[in-house]
Copies of this chain bind each other. A is one copy, B any other.
């Protein structure tokens, strides 16, 4: 079996900012932690890419050899090149899987794929309990009825996204809010999973259930096929005369 080629993309600025809490939690960047736990899965080959690499680490060659792109961004969405966003959209529509994490909700690529503002309610420093409301979905495989995130940024409704194709997880926040925390979307030949947990200041990506969900999601968004060439509108002869 060929391995699923995952590219974990991280903005990777906060972790390097003087005195930013995230540098303590993820000294080498959260992408490294994610790539590492994914690599324990023999079916996955994970690499990383970051904003400040040339082409954000997302050359055509990298994109063409990526089955699943994972996206974490937060404070510098605007610095992502429009041209690269367009290329990513094109790959997704041809089959590449996309997993968007936490504050990636406001990334250019997610907003482009959704067509909506992707705005939400937020507040730092809360506690979350993630409930599963679609236990038959492969992304929920091995996940209990709920799991806890001791410290997390609150993300609350109204979350301006299209109605998800599958609503798998719902988040409960101690401060009084709820959120659609795990959502799937089919777009073109590709699949997308949005997963809310993962504020950079707390060690969320070390939590086993969070890792399990992300691992499951890689398998779920992994395409069974990818289109080559340009997308186009066929203009065939009539099949029936």
Contact = CB atoms under 8 A, between A and B. Distances in A.
Q: Interface extent on A, as a size class?
A: 35 or more
A126 B188 CA distance: 26
Question: Per DSSP, are chain A's interface residues mostly helix, strand or loop, or mixed?
Answer: loop
Interface string A124-146: 00100101111111101110010
Contacts of A175: 238-240
Given A140-B224, A172-B178, A174-B238, 12 more contacts: A93-B160, A113-B115, A116-B188, A126-B238, A131-B177, A136-B191, A145-B158, A157-B170, A162-B187, A163-B167, A172-B172, A172-B173
A176 B136 contact: no
Contacts of A158: 131-133, 135, 145
A141 B226 CA distance: 11
Enumerate the 3 nearest inter-chain pairs by beta-carbon distance, A residue then B residue, closest first: A176-B239, A175-B238, A141-B224
